[in-house]
Amino acid sequence: MVSFAGQEIPRSPFEVSVGPYKETLIKAYGPGLVGGVVNYPALFTVETNGETGALGFSIEGPSQAKIDCHDNGDGSADVRYYPTAPGEYAVHILCDSEDIPKSPYVAQILPNTDYYPDKVECYGKGLEKDGAMKGKPTEFTVDTRKAGPAPLDVQVLDAYSNNVDVKLHPKGDGTFTASYIPKAGAKHTVQVNYGGVATKNSPYRVYVSEPLNASNVHVFGPGVEKGVKSNLPTHFNVDCREAGQGDIQISLTNEKGVEVPLKIVDNEDGTFTVDYVVQQPGTYFIKVLYGGVKTPQSPISVIVQPHVDVSKIKVDGLEPTGKADFAVAITSPSGSKVKAHVIPTHEGFLVNFTPTELGEYLLSISFGGEPVSPTPYRFTCMHGSDPTKVHATGPGLERGVVRNPAEFCIDTRGAGQGGLGVTVEGPCEAAINCRDNGDGTCSVAYLPTEIGDYSINITFNDHHIPGSPFQALVVPEADLKKIKVSGNGIQPHGMQLCCATVEKCEAWFVPLIL
């Protein structure tokens, strides 16, 4: 009930329907939920945390605000809206057409000011994708010298949206050092906001690695096994992928402690290839330290045999024998065997197969019944990305009716991995509802509230798909009351060969059937 000067206002009392509290795993955070500045993007992030349902967003306020939603491909989305007038804005975050808890958020948008959040520079290990380790402090620098005076806000959230303590140290010259200590592994999100606006490239996603564990380093290959010959090149491999991040030190010495030169190649996947040649036969020692800690196999003793020039050896009286068998076994990520085709060539053998699963495969090779390597070779199969293979279809890409959902479907099957972005621009801000169908397709509906031309932008990994931007014409709803029918053909006293006149004025494009 609402009254003024002791009298109820018209339509009071108002009837309000209260539904049950919506339970959801969806979390939202970011500066755009509390405020912003005119003509700067107001950003917030939505974490689905495995929640299945159609996400939707709408903005209500003093001005129309374009909405740009970017799917990060990891269960989260960065949403930006662009206010053009100051005042209070209501930010609705919907799941299956219902507001999530705390939605709508009320954001106070301020007039344009004399500071420039887009000129803030941020850099350092603490912002890099692999720049942090669990339990170890990491830091980064924020440079505001070109941005003008404004309050700086830095926040770090862990994978469960819990706040991580951040220490901010001003240097007195407009630069700041921010440091934090991740308490858990997995993804962390770093937000750097200036004057209530997200800075360039914020938020940053940092994947925190586990502590270093040298016991998980594995050394294998012909260079650490029997059969090494003097004056012949050989090599071995070091696998550190499950040992955390650390510096590797590898040395090869003879019995007198004299070092042998090594060529160490970083394969940039957590593994290293080490090549060497020894000039004299004897016993040599390979030492491998990871993060300054000795690995379990270190030191490895290698007995080098004298090199023999077989081209100068002549053998008579031997009969030719059968060839040794060459065998390849490939195991998929699910543990099943994968069929491989082995083709003999003049240089050896060519092996090819078709991967059917994403993930890590194991490759074992044997010759004459003996394994070539004591441990299987590992390689990873992953998707590529091709925006030209994304297709969008549906009536909502060409036309729509005001105040009615305009629908279309996006098919990303065959396009690989990537972030999908959908924006709608037109005379009004149209709420967008996206639903992942779980089969590589996405159903999209937008709700135009004004007639006119609308532009639908669909991007995959920040590249427009074929046909984007699409142009759709939104027309008024048909008003059947404005259709007039007259003539003898509609008289109630029987039907004669005649005609009826239909006046279809102001009813817009309505199909007519007689």
Q: What CATH code would you report for 214-308+323-381?
A: 2.60.40.10
Nearest Cα neighbor of 409 from 434, 460, 444 is 444
* Amino acid 327: pLDDT: 85
* Amino acid 499: pLDDT: 41
Say how far apart CA 278 and CA 271 lie, in whole Å: 23
214-308+323-381 against 387-475: fold identical: yes
Domain map of the chain by residue range? 27-209, 214-308+323-381, 387-475, 484-514
* Amino acid 451: pLDDT: 92
Count the Cβ atoms, other than its own, within 10 Å of residue 288: 26
* Amino acid 495: pLDDT: 45
Q: Is 229 within 8 Å of 307 (Cβ atoms)?
A: yes
The SS3 of residue 267 is coil
* Amino acid 509: pLDDT: 41
Nearest Cα neighbor of 454 from 397, 492, 509 is 397
Which of 3.90.550.10, 3.40.50.11540, 2.60.40.10, 2.60.40.2470 would CATH assign to domain 27-209?
2.60.40.10
Q: Is 457 within 8 Å of 438 (Cβ atoms)?
A: no
* Amino acid 189: pLDDT: 93
Question: Residue-wise pLDDT tens for the chain (514 aa)?
Answer: 888 888 888 877 877 666 666 678 889 999 999 999 999 999 999 998 877 778 889 999 999 899 999 888 878 899 999 999 999 999 999 988 888 999 899 999 999 888 999 999 999 999 998 878 888 899 999 999 999 999 999 999 988 788 999 999 999 999 999 999 998 777 899 999 999 999 999 999 998 877 778 888 999 989 999 889 888 899 999 998 778 778 899 999 999 889 999 999 998 878 899 999 998 899 999 999 998 889 988 899 999 988 765 556 666 665 555 566 778 899 888 888 888 888 888 777 888 888 888 778 888 888 777 888 888 888 877 666 788 889 999 999 999 999 889 999 999 888 877 788 899 999 988 888 888 887 889 999 999 989 999 999 999 888 899 999 999 999 987 654 554 544 444 445 444 444 443 444 444 444 443 3
Nearest Cα neighbor of 106 from 44, 181, 173, 50 is 44
> Residue 295: what are its φ and ψ, rounded to 5°?
-80, 160
**Domain 387-475: which topology?**
Immunoglobulin-like (2.60.40)
Nearest Cα neighbor of 141 from 108, 118, 171 is 171
Please report where in the chains the tokens 């160490």 appear, as a residue: 264
